[in-house]
Amino acid sequence: MIKPLLKWLDQRTGYKKIAHEALYENVPGGARWRYVWGSTLTFALVIQFVTGAFLWMQYSASTQTSWESVYYIQNDMFMGWFVRGLHHFTAQAMIVLLVLHLMQVLIDGAYKAPREMNFWTGLVLLLLVLGLSLTGYLLPWDQKGYWASRVVTNIAGITPIVGHGIQRLAVGGADFGTATLTRFLAFHAGVLPAGIVALIVGHIYLFRRHGITPKKPLKKADAAFWPDQVLMDSVACLAVLAAVLFLVLHFHGAELGAPANSAEPYDAARPEWYFLFLFQFLKYFPGETEIFGAIIIPTLIVAFLFVMPFVGNWKLGHRFNIGFICALLAGAGLLTYLAVNEDHHNERYQTAVAQADQAAERVVFLAKANGGIPPDGALALLANDPFSQGPKLFAANCASCHTYGGTDGLGHKLDLTKESASDLKGFASRVWLAGLTNPATVASRQYFGGTKFKDGDMVGFVQGHLKDLTADKKVQLEKVIMAVSAEAQLPGQQAIDKADSAQIAEGRQLLRNEISCVDCHQFQQADATAVAPDLTAYGSKAWLLAYLNNPADPRFYGKDNDRMPAFGKDGRLSPRELGLLVDWLRGDWAKPSS
C-alpha cells in the first residue's frame, strides 16, 4: 500500500534522489563530533522560528500593549512562560554556537578557497542573527530592553554622514515609541528571518557543493552522512536543548522587567551578556572618540573577518587568522570579565538591579490585584502605586534632610553626618514614638539631633521628665505611646490597635493628665495656647497632608518651624504626589496577601 504511493510521489517529485543526496553525502574520515556545530545552529534556528511564530500570535506592538501582551504571555497564558523562555534562552545558545561554529570553520581551514562564498554567507548570517538579538531585545518594551536599545540606536546615530538618518529610520521618528516597536517587530519577525532562510539555503548548498573540510589526519574510513553523523548531530542538538531547558526551568522562563518609562532612571541598564564586551569597550573612548570604539574598530574587525579567506592563502596567513580570532575572543572575554567585575563591586548598580527586580515584581502584582491592566497600559498601575512612587518622591524631595531607615528611601545609603532632620521610617508607629520619648535617643540624629529642636522643649521634657521612670510610669508612658500612635491609624498596626483599645483609651487620659502632653500639644480639642504639633489624628493621612501642605501652620510648628518647606502650599508637589508620599510613609499600599 505505502510502496506504490511512495513510488507515485517519487515519480512526480524525485524526492528519493534528493533524500539520497542529502543523506549519503560523503564524510571523509567518517563522522566526527567537530562537525556538529552547523546542525546545532540549524536546530536552534528551527526552535526560534517555531517559538517565535507562536509568540507572534500573542504579541501586540505598541507602547501601551507590548509590555502588557508579554506580561500576558508570561503570567496568564497556558505554557506562555515556557515558550518565551525557550525563545529567550535558545537565542543565547545561538550566540555560543555561532562562536563555536566559526572557530571550528577557522581552525579546520574550511573558510579558504574554494569556500570563500560559503564563509561570507556564514558571516552575514552571523550579523543577521546579531540583528535578531538586537531587535528582539526591545520588543518586550521593558526598562532593560528600552534603555539598551536606545544606546544602540544612539550609537548608530554617530555614524558619519548617514548616522542621523539611519537612527531616525530605525527608530521610526525622533524618539522611541510605537513606530519603533512596529519597525523592530517587522525586522525581527519578518525581514531578518526571511534573509536568514535565504542565506541558509545558499550556505548549505555551498557546503554540500564543496563538502566537509576534513580535519587531517583522517582517523577512520570515509562514511556517509547518514546515519553516523546524523546521530552525532542529533545528540549534540539534544545537549543544546537540554542546556536550554535547564535554563528555562531554572529561571522560570525569561525575565520581564518593569514597563519602559522614559522618565524613570534605570541604573541597571546593561546589554545582553554577549554584548557586554562592546559595552565595556565604549568606556575607554572619551567624548567624541566614541566613534572609534563603537563603530570604526568593530567595523574594521568585521571587515577583517571578511578578508580572512585571502589572508589564509598566504604563508602563515592561516595561523595569523587563528591567532587573530583567538586574540579577539580573549579580548572580548577579558572585557566581559571587566564589565561583570566592575558591576559586581558597584553598590549603586547592585541596588539598581534589586530595585528593578522589585519594580518588575510589583507591577505584576498590581496587574493581578487589579484583575487586569488599565487601557492606558501598565505604567499607569505603577504611577498610582504609593509603594512604587513613595521612595522616589522621598529621595527627590525629602532625603536632602530626612532619612528613611538610614537611606534615601530608594535603598542608597546616605552620609548620615550631613543629614539633619529625623528618620521617617515607621513615622508615628509605636516603635518610632518609643524612640522619640526615649531620653537616650530623642536628641540623636534620628529624631531632633540635627534640628534646632535639639535644645527645644520636647528634648528637655523627655530628658528631664521621662528619665529613670518608675515601673508604673513606664507602663503609663507605653499607654500614651499606644494612644498617640493609634491616632495615625496605620494599616500595619490595625490589629494591635484593635487589641489594645482599652490601654489606648487609658493612654488618652494619661496624656491629658499624668504625662501632660497637652501642656504644649493640642489634643482632640482646640487649644490656642498649644505651641507644639497637634496630636489629634497625629500621623494620619489627613494630618500628614495638612502638615506637608504647611508645617508652619499654627496647628503644627507655627513660627518655630525649622527649615521644613511648605510642599503643598508652595506648589512643590502636586496633591497627587503628596498623597502617594503620605501613603507610602504610612505603609498604606496594596500588599500581597501572603
Site for another protein in 507-536 (CB under 8 A): none
Q: Among 361, 395, 394, which Cα is nearest to 378's? A: 361
Eight-class DSSP state of 534? -
Please pick, from the candidates 94, 95, 356, 367, the single residue that binds another protein as defined by CB under 8 A. Answer: 367
Q: How far is the CB of 96 from another protein (least distance, A)?
A: 18
Inter-residue contact 462 to 559 (CB < 8 Å)? no
Site for another protein in 65-84 (CB under 8 A): 65, 68-69, 71-73, 76-80, 82-83
Q: How far is the CB of 216 from another protein (least distance, A)?
A: 20
Please pick, from the candidates 226, 292, 320, 324, the single residue that binds another protein as defined by CB under 8 A. Answer: 226
Residue 286 binds another protein, judged by CB under 8 A: no
Residue 107 binds another protein, judged by CB under 8 A: no
Residue 6 binds another protein, judged by CB under 8 A: no
Compute φ and ψ for 523, nearest 5 degrees: -145, 110
Inter-residue contact 457 to 532 (CB < 8 Å)? yes
Nearer to another protein, 223 or 401 (CB): 223
Q: Which stretch binds another protein (CB under 8 A): 48-56, 123-131, 156-164, 207-215?
A: 48-56
Residue 373 binds another protein, judged by CB under 8 A: yes
Residue 245 binds another protein, judged by CB under 8 A: yes
Nearer to another protein, 79 or 499 (CB): 79
Q: Which stretch binds another protein (CB under 8 A): 178-186, 363-371, 524-532, 577-585?
A: 363-371
Dihedral angle of Cα 360, 366, 367, 372, to the nearest 10 degrees: -170
Residues 6+ apart with CB under 8 A from 574: none
Residue 471 binds another protein, judged by CB under 8 A: no
Element (H, E) at 234: helix 230-250
Q: How far is the CB of 240 from another protein (least distance, A)?
A: 9
CA distance 390 to 396: 10
DSSP-assigned states of every residue in 337-361? HHHHHHHHT-HHHHHHHHHHHHHHH
Inter-residue contact 80 to 73 (CB < 8 Å)? yes
Inter-residue contact 430 to 482 (CB < 8 Å)? yes
Residue 91 binds another protein, judged by CB under 8 A: no
Using CB atoms within 10 Å of the CB of residue 479, give its burial: 0 to 12 exposed, 13 to 18 middle, 19+ buried: buried
Number of shown-chain residues binding another protein (CB under 8 A): 43
CA distance 487 to 501: 12
Inter-residue contact 376 to 433 (CB < 8 Å)? no
Nearer to another protein, 82 or 349 (CB): 82
Please pick, from the candidates 10, 22, 54, 166, the single residue that binds another protein as defined by CB under 8 A. Answer: 54
Residue 254 binds another protein, judged by CB under 8 A: no
Nearer to another protein, 48 or 489 (CB): 48
Please pick, from the candidates 371, 418, 571, 592, the single residue that binds another protein as defined by CB under 8 A. Answer: 371
* End-to-end CA separation in angstroms for the chain: 63
Place of cell 528571518: 193
Q: What's CA 506's distance to the chain center, in Å?
A: 51
Q: Among 458, 448, 502, 503, which Cα is nearest to 480's? A: 503
Eight-class DSSP state of 214? P
Residue 50 binds another protein, judged by CB under 8 A: yes
Residue 2 binds another protein, judged by CB under 8 A: no
Please pick, from the candidates 14, 114, 227, 406, the single residue that binds another protein as defined by CB under 8 A. Answer: 227
Nearer to another protein, 373 or 398 (CB): 373
Q: How far is the CB of 142 from another protein (least distance, A)?
A: 15
State the residues that interact with another protein by CB under 8 A.
43, 46-47, 50-51, 53-55, 57-58, 65, 68-69, 71-73, 76-80, 82-83, 86, 221, 226-228, 230-231, 234-235, 237-238, 241, 245, 367, 370-375
